[in-house]
Amino acid sequence: METSAKTQQSQVKTMAARSMDAADITMIHADSLAGILAAIARLSQDDTITKLASLGRAVAGDLHNEADLFREEAESIALGV
């Protein structure tokens, strides 16, 4: 394999690893946000705040799932290179 091809392959693996790390961090933050919003929804006595917090929790869950898919795609790229 040529040096430039090896270099390019190494760069792709590095970028994929960084992307996986970023996705993992995003998932952790999304889970934290979902927990905070769940507590707000549970503790609030205002129906509007409860509904908004519940909606926010659902969005945070969607963010977690999307970040997980992104992480899996980055992992596949890293393994496939």
pTM of the model: 0.83
Distance CA(22)–CA(33), nearest Å, equals: 16
Q: Residue 49 to residues 42, 43, 46, 60, 73: CA-CA distances in angstroms?
A: 10, 10, 5, 16, 36
What pLDDT sits at residue 69?
97
Mean pLDDT by 10 residues, the chain (81 residues): 82 93 97 97 96 97 97 91 62
